Chains A and B, each alone.
Chain A
Amino acid sequence: EVQLVQSGAEVKKPGESLKISCKDSGNRFSNSWIGWVRQMPGKGLEWMGMIYTGDSEIRYSPSFQGHVTISADKSLNIAYLHWSSLKASDTAMYYCARQWPSNIVGGFFDIWGQGTMVIVSS
């Protein structure tokens, strides 16, 4: 069974870098799309992008491209979301989720991580 376990909450300062993780504990990471979703405090869900663990193809939302980097280590069954320079506006809950089936069209997020809270404050 696929279960996604995310890294713990983070408190960082503006300008700092950060990488959060999403681990598949069910050992079925291969050939899956893993997506990242942002939820700012009290707000809705925003699709950030996703990575195909089979060949590391990445699709970004234009709203997030250039500000975050999505990556994955297939050997460790882990996906990552990385910021090189955080802003206060990055304060949010971040969820990873598995898309099924492994098609770029018509998939759905059937398994979600528990979320990682990121707080960016000086």
Chain B
Amino acid sequence: DIQMTQSPSSLSASVGDRVTITCRTSQSIDSHLNWYQQKPGKAPRLLIYDASSLQSGVPSRFSGGGSGTDFTLTISSLQPEDFATYFCQHSHSTPYSFGQGTKLEIK
């Protein structure tokens, strides 16, 4: 099974900051990496698929990069509504798995 290592587990930042979250996999997954945002009490929401493709309706300040084993999610200029928890997920082979999550908090 493919293991996911997401970092950091938590992050404090201010509105307007640029932040980057990383996700590393235990073996190459090509570009089969997705990113989700989850707010308290809500279902996750897809942000990025195939490592770098922006899901319809997601603001362009979100971007994804990487391939193979190392991936990033970047928010170029944090907005108040971006404070949430973010998860990576691979879909290279079953069982799929999620990263441990990154909780993004207001500084």
Taking Cβ atoms with an 8 Å cutoff, the residues of A that contact B are 35, 37, 44-47, 49-50, 59-63, 95, 97, 99, 104-110, 112-115
Contact = CB atoms under 8 A, between A and B. Distances in A.
A113 B101 CA distance: 20
Given A109-B36, A109-B44, A112-B44, A45 B98 contact: yes
A95 B34 contact: no
A106 B50 contact: yes
20 contacts: A44-B87, A44-B101, A45-B101, A47-B95, A47-B96, A59-B95, A60-B95, A61-B95, A62-B95, A63-B95, A97-B44, A104-B94, A105-B92, A106-B91, A108-B34, A108-B46, A109-B36, A109-B44, A113-B43, A115-B43
Contact of A45 (B87, B91, B93): B87
Given A44-B87, A44-B100, A45-B87, A109 B46 contact: yes
A47 B89 contact: yes
| Most chain B CB neighbours (cut-off 10 Å) among A45, A46, A60, A110 | A45
A91 B100 CA distance: 19
Interface in B13-69: 30-32, 34, 36, 38, 43-46, 49-50, 55
Contacts, number: 70
Given A106-B92, A112-B44, 20 more contacts: A35-B96, A44-B87, A47-B97, A47-B98, A50-B94, A59-B94, A61-B95, A62-B1, A95-B43, A95-B44, A97-B43, A97-B44, A104-B94, A106-B30, A106-B31, A106-B32, A106-B91, A107-B91, A108-B89, A108-B91
Contacts of A61: 94-95, 97
A99 B36 CA distance: 13
